[in-house]
Chains A and B, each alone.
Chain A
Amino acid sequence: MHGFANPARFLRIARPMTGPLLWGGLLLVAASLWWGLTGVPAERLQGDTARILVVHVPTAWLGMAGWMAIAVASLAELVWRHPLAGIAARAAAAPGAVFTAVCLATGSIWGRPAWGTWWVWDGRLTSMLVLLFLYLGYLALAGAVDREGGSARIPALFGLVGVLNIPIIHYSVIWWNSLHQPPSLTTGGSTMAPEFLWPLLTATLAFSLLFAGVVLARMRALLAAAQAEARLRRRALEG
């Protein structure tokens, strides 16, 4: 892991990967959206709205995976002082927040025809909304630390504490009575029919590739900004 700690080595690996992940992921996302719209049949109980799950489930997964990435990177920053870990955590925050917001929006749009309401304050929806607020808090905190020059350990600690919300989101439909359905996809298998499962898995792969591309692009942007800032400071000290 420390092999990637050198920014020059990281850039040698990241530069050729960013474009293909970003644009290839976007192309695959477009294809999976088309598949979801035209290839998924109407479901017996949910009707046409079952197609919304093809976009809702991958964005929910990435909202949670994004915070897991922040937590792992924060741990690496706090324990091993990995030079790129803080940058990786910051880079995962914006796409994580966007996908969490999209998950909440698409879930709400699905809920209106399926449940007869846009929103209910049940465990799954509320803990997902808390995740969005955690992302916004993390972005504000990391931005303030970068601007004001505070300790980088503060957002890292926030990232680690916030991970407590992830098991709450996952188990909320088991622990509490919820309108939200229990998981259809687990490590033990799937209760979904193949005509729903394959478009869903393809969309999940597509959004995950795009997410990885966005994180690499954000890391490169943050690294370039830090290097430019360090050069300006060096020149100011020399001059």
Chain B
Amino acid sequence: MREALDQWTFVIAAYAVTALATLALTAWSWLAMRAAERRKDRGR
């Protein structure tokens, strides 16, 4: 018997995983860059 799966649940899950990972990667890269450059400038 074929399962009755709601396809939209899978679509939303895939987009949510992608959006969260992309946002986290962007924010981490930006904040790590700013922090590293601030540390470098403070040491001058």
A positions within 8 Å CB-CB of B? 18, 22, 26, 29-30, 33, 36-37, 47-49, 51-52, 55-56, 59, 94-95, 98, 101-102, 105-106, 109-110, 112-113, 116, 207, 210, 213-214, 217-218, 220-222, 224-225, 227-228, 231-232
B positions within 8 Å CB-CB of A? 3, 5, 7-8, 10-11, 13-15, 17-19, 21-23, 25-26, 29-30, 32-33, 35-37, 39-40, 43-44
Residues of A with C-beta under 8 A to B33: 18, 217-218, 220-221, 224
| Contacts A49-B7, A49-B11, A98-B25 supplied; 12 other A-B pairs, CB < 8 Å | A22-B26, A26-B23, A26-B26, A33-B15, A48-B7, A48-B11, A95-B29, A102-B21, A112-B10, A224-B39, A225-B36, A225-B39
> A interface, by DSSP: helix, strand, loop or mixed?
helix
- A29 and B22 contact, CB distance less than 8 A: yes
A-B contact count (CB 8 A): 103
From residue A51, how far is it (CB to closest CB) to chain B in Å?
Answer: 5
- A55 and B36 contact, CB distance less than 8 A: no
- A224 and B30 contact, CB distance less than 8 A: no
Q: How far is the CA of A48 from the CA of B25 in the complex (A)?
A: 27
